[in-house]
Amino acid sequence: MARYIMLINSEHCMDCKACVVACQQRNGVPYGFHRNWVHETKSQASACGFKFQPGACMHCEDPSCVAACPTGATWKARDGVVHIDRSRCIGCGSCIEACPYHARFRHPLTGTADKCDYCMGSTPGETPACVAVCPMHCRTFGDLDDPSSAVAKIAATHKLVHIVPKGSGARPTLAYLETTTPASLPAASTVSHPVEAIRPFSKVVTWVGGAVLAALAGTFVRQLVKPSEREDEEIAAQAKKTEAASARQEEDKA
Amino acid sequence: MMIRRHSRSAIFMHWFNAVCWLFLLFSGFALLVGDMQPIGQWWRNLWVALFGERGLLVAHLLVGSVWVAVYAIYILTSCRREVLPFLREILHFKPASDLVWCFRKGLWLVLGPKVMLKMGVDPKLPPQGFYNAGQRMVAVLAVAASIGLAITGVAMGYFSGNVSWALGENALLWCIVVHFACAGVMAIFLPVHIYMAALAPGEGPALRSMFTGFVPQSHAQHHNPLWFASLKAAGALGGETQEQHSNVAQKG
């Protein structure tokens, strides 16, 4: 099974944003929205006074967006790619809120969540648009488990750096080579309110519902073995007997 | 002698509701994933195997839409004749007596009247009207949950996606939570209703009345003495009986 990842050499990026435009064009992303980005950070170390950091969905291990989706419309495939099934997405925005990289948005035409899928939805099997158009060859995409692939060769010879928003606990698969600026992103939450409330409530339904079913099953068996109605009849018969006995006693006394 | 307890339309709506509710509850839970799945992953896998990933959501939406539409028609056409009297009946609470009924009925079923007498608890139940305390409580919950499920379900199904009238993300997020909360509450109380109505001892005639519409006079006298007394006071006991009903049908 393949294990797809993207590697980015952000030190080569010149902020031309060809990757952003190519992605919009290939994936039909409307004007004003984007699946990928280039972060700009002021830096004295750079000749132009800025450092650039291209990015996109990080296709995280154990993604918070997947955990936040109540309908299973977004999932992580075995090849490492995080997908969205538009037919099952109700556009609630839970995954958008849960992504600490803000890599998702609600597509204004489909009304569903949208994000980078390595162009697998629009052009399956082809090199992602952002990788194909980059004039500086910043981005490399491929199967990490295939030793002959470019990503596997680069990963073997470079230190891989991951950027993680503070406090998010995210485990991105998209990696930068050697160094990148910024080294980390501002703190971000992976909790999606109020959908998060479903989790504890679901546990309550499981346990209380289970206890109710067990109690009903126990009561059903009890009524089969020892019906309360028969006990009622026995109590009534006993009461009648006692009544008759006391009446007889009174008669005897009389 | 039999007394009419349920109209034909009420019987139809009850069973229509039962079928829809069970399907929607089971398929709805199957839509949930991960920690939100209250039954287990096997439940989701089972339903996905039957309907497919997309088919499950479509089937849930379809049955839910039919359920809402049929109920809307029923409420509009039978509001004064059946819906309002039903709501008046289920909202007629007598807290002290109702709590005693629930407590004693529970003990009667679980421990039995002999143990109750040993504990010093009188097994005699407070007299009940058309519905007993348990039926009224579950009915109120069912009505409230149905309203919640219908509103949030319609919102998620028809006011989302690529339509100009789509609700905002926050509203849809709350719809999911309210939808699940309503379904969760009913998932807990529905088995109680099914046991009490179909399996509990002495409820046979009441269950049969949900098919025939008629209940034996002796059963009503024993289980619903207040309703029976009100029928007697109104002189309604000599009204429509099953015998007369079948005679009319034969003549027709």
Is the Cβ of B119 closer than 8 Å to some Cβ of chain A? Answer: no
Q: Express each pLDDT in A224-243 by its tens digit.
A: 999 999 999 999 999 899 99
Is the Cβ of B170 closer than 8 Å to some Cβ of chain A? Answer: yes
Q: Is B64 inside a domain boundary?
A: yes
Residues of chain B with pLDDT under 50: 243-252
Residue at a domain's end among B126, B146, B179: B126
Strand pairing class (A160-161; A175-177): antiparallel
Angle at CA of residue B158, ends B152 and B162, nearest 5°: 125
Q: Is residue B135 domain-shared with residue B236, that is, in the same domain?
A: yes
Is the Cβ of B239 closer than 8 Å to some Cβ of chain A? Answer: no
In the stretch 34-93 of chain B, residues with CB closer than 8 A to chain A read 34-39, 44, 53-54, 57
Proportion of chain A above pLDDT 90, given as a percent: 73
Please tell me whether the interface predicted TM-score (ipTM) of this complex is above 0.90. Answer: no
Q: Is residue B35 domain-shared with residue B153, that is, in the same domain?
A: yes
Please list the residues that pair with A52 across neighbouring strands: A40
Task: Tell which residue, A144, A149, A134, has the closest CA to residue A175.
Answer: A144
Q: Is residue B149 domain-shared with residue B26, that is, in the same domain?
A: yes
Q: Is residue B114 domain-shared with residue B175, that is, in the same domain?
A: no
Quickly tell me which residue has 């470019």 as its tokens. A150
Q: Express each pLDDT in A138-157 by its tens digit.
A: 999 999 999 999 999 999 99
Q: Mention every residue, 6+ apart, whose C-beta is less than 8 A from residue B79.
A: none
Helix (H, G, I), strand (E, B) or coil at A53: strand
pLDDT at B164: 79
Q: Is residue B31 domain-shared with residue B136, that is, in the same domain?
A: yes
pLDDT for residue A245 is more than 60: yes
How many domains does chain B fold into? 2
Q: Is residue B75 domain-shared with residue B178, that is, in the same domain?
A: yes
Q: Is residue B164 domain-shared with residue B63, that is, in the same domain?
A: yes
Task: Tell which residue, A212, A41, A125, has the closest CA to residue B138.
Answer: A212
Q: Is B213 inside a domain boundary?
A: yes
Q: Express each pLDDT in B25-38 by its tens digit.
A: 999 999 888 788 89
Q: Is B18 inside a domain boundary?
A: yes
Task: Tell which residue, A131, A142, A187, has the closest CA to residue A18.
Answer: A131
Within 8 A of B175 by CB-CB distance, chain A residues are 92
pLDDT at B247: 40
pLDDT for residue A40 is more than 90: yes
Q: Is residue B20 domain-shared with residue B69, that is, in the same domain?
A: yes
Angle at CA of residue A132, ends A129 and A136, nearest 5°: 125
Angle at CA of residue A180, ends A189 and A169, nearest 5°: 25
Residue at a domain's end among B81, B106, B126: B126
Task: Tell which residue, B183, B168, B245, B175, has the closest CA to residue B5.
Answer: B245
Q: Is B250 inside a domain boundary?
A: no
pLDDT at A123: 95
Alpha helix (H) ranges present in chain B?
Answer: 8-31, 41-51, 53-78, 84-90, 95-110, 113-119, 133-158, 169-194, 204-212, 217-223, 225-233, 242-251
pLDDT at B238: 63
Q: Is B224 inside a domain boundary?
A: yes
Q: How far apart are CA A72 and CA A58, in angstroms?
A: 19
Within 8 A of A197 by CB-CB distance, chain B residues are 177
Q: Is residue B70 domain-shared with residue B11, that is, in the same domain?
A: yes
Question: What mean pLDDT comes out for the span A177-195?
Answer: 88
Q: Is residue B213 domain-shared with residue B112, that is, in the same domain?
A: no
Domain harbouring B199, CATH code: 1.20.950.20
Q: How far apart are CA A205 and CA A76, in angstroms?
A: 27
Tokens (6 digits) for B25: 């509850």
Q: Is B15 inside a domain boundary?
A: yes
Residue-range definition of the domain harbouring residue B183: 2-90+130-245
Q: Is residue B72 domain-shared with residue B108, that is, in the same domain?
A: no
pLDDT at B248: 37
Tokens (6 digits) for B76: 């509009």
Q: B157: nearest CA in chain A?
A: A90
How far from chain centre, in Å, is Cα B168?
33
Q: Is residue B33 domain-shared with residue B114, that is, in the same domain?
A: no
Bond into A194 cis (ω within 30): yes
Question: What mean pLDDT comes out for the span A37-64?
Answer: 93
Q: Mention every residue, 6+ apart, whose C-beta is less than 8 A from residue A117.
A: A57, A81, A82, A83, A84
Within 8 A of B109 by CB-CB distance, chain A residues are 219, 222-223, 228
Cα B149 to Cα A196, B159, B172, B186: the distances in Å are 19, 14, 13, 11
pLDDT for residue A196 is more than 90: no
Angle at CA of residue A176, ends A170 and A124, nearest 5°: 80
B43: left (phi over 0), alpha (psi -120 to 50) or beta: alpha
Element counts in chain A: helices (H) and strands (E): 7, 10
Largest Cα span, chain A = 125
Tokens (6 digits) for A237: 């018969």
Closest CA–CA distance from residue A235 to any residue of chain B (Å)? 7
Q: Is B86 inside a domain boundary?
A: yes
Cβ of A216 within 8 Å of Cβ of B44? The answer is no
Task: Tell me the average pLDDT of chain A.
Answer: 92
Is the Cβ of B161 closer than 8 Å to some Cβ of chain A? Answer: yes
Q: How far apart are CA A105 and CA A87, in angstroms?
A: 16
Please list the residues that pair with A38 across neighbouring strands: A54
Cβ of A204 within 8 Å of Cβ of B180? The answer is no
pLDDT at A58: 96
Cβ-based neighbour number of residue A33 at 10 Å: 13
Cβ-based neighbour number of residue A99 at 10 Å: 28
Within 8 A of A228 by CB-CB distance, chain B residues are 108-109, 112-113, 201
Q: Express each pLDDT in A73-109 by its tens digit.
A: 999 999 999 999 988 888 888 999 999 999 999 998 8
Q: Is B251 inside a domain boundary?
A: no
The per-residue b/e assignment along B176-190, b for 16 or more CB within 10 angstroms, e otherwise, is bbbbbbbbbbbbbbb
pLDDT at B53: 79
